[in-house]
Chains A and B, each alone.
Chain A
Amino acid sequence: EVQLVESGGGLVQPGGSLRLSCAASGFTFSNYWMHWVRQAPGKGLVWVSRISSDGSSTNYADSVKGRFTISRDNAETTLYLQMNSLRAEDTAMYYCARAKNGYTLWGQGTLVTVSS
């Protein structure tokens, strides 16, 4: 089955860290750019970061630059998002998405809550 499955979310205190994972299956993971998109409760979709198919190129939203790091392991068909110095405003559902002229495949999301 073609799918993306996120994990790693949870409750973390401000200033803390989390690492999100996105396990891909059913397609050739190494052929695709991959992105992270987040959605705060009751709000719209916001792009967070992207990584090239071979992992050599990355981009970040200004709001997370210097705090978040995207990476991937093509052998393990897994995408990662290392999130440091977390803030209350990072609270959101985090989705990984496969990019090909838009986001053609989304995971179910993992919820990150930043609160003391």
Chain B
Amino acid sequence: DIVMTQSPDSLAVSLGERATINCKSSQSVLYSSNNKSYLAWYQQKPGQPPKLLINWASTRESGVPDRFSGSGSGSDFTLTISSLQTEDVAAYHCQQYYTTSPTFGQGTKVEIK
């Protein structure tokens, strides 16, 4: 299985400041035939199921605020919240859907400093 490793495990950011979460896969999730990385990011608020924010490493789902952006390719990816808002307090999970056995990172908790 592909192992997904997120860093940091948690971070505290001031309101309006930038939050950056990293995700590394143990092997590339880039499919050469279409040049797409099979990487998604989810937001999970306490007591709620996850919500898809970004797929294909950088494509925002409809309705997701543009302060959320994804970048990276191959094995190294980043989720950036450009200006942290109160409602962004949550856990964030990366996931590869490149293989028949999708795997998730361990999650990163984002809090307000």
Contact = CB atoms under 8 A, between A and B. Distances in A.
Contacts of B95: 45, 102-103
Interface range, B side: 20 to 34
Contacts of A50: 100, 102
Interface residues of A, number: 18
A101 B57 CA distance: 10
Given A44-B106, A61-B101, A102-B40, A107 B52 contact: no
B50 A45 contact: yes
Contacts of B56: 101
A36 B102 CA distance: 11
A67 B26 CA distance: 28
B105 A44 contact: yes
Contacts of B105: 44
Given A44-B93, A45-B93, A103 B104 contact: no
Interface of A: 35, 44-47, 50, 59, 61, 95, 99, 101-104, 106-109
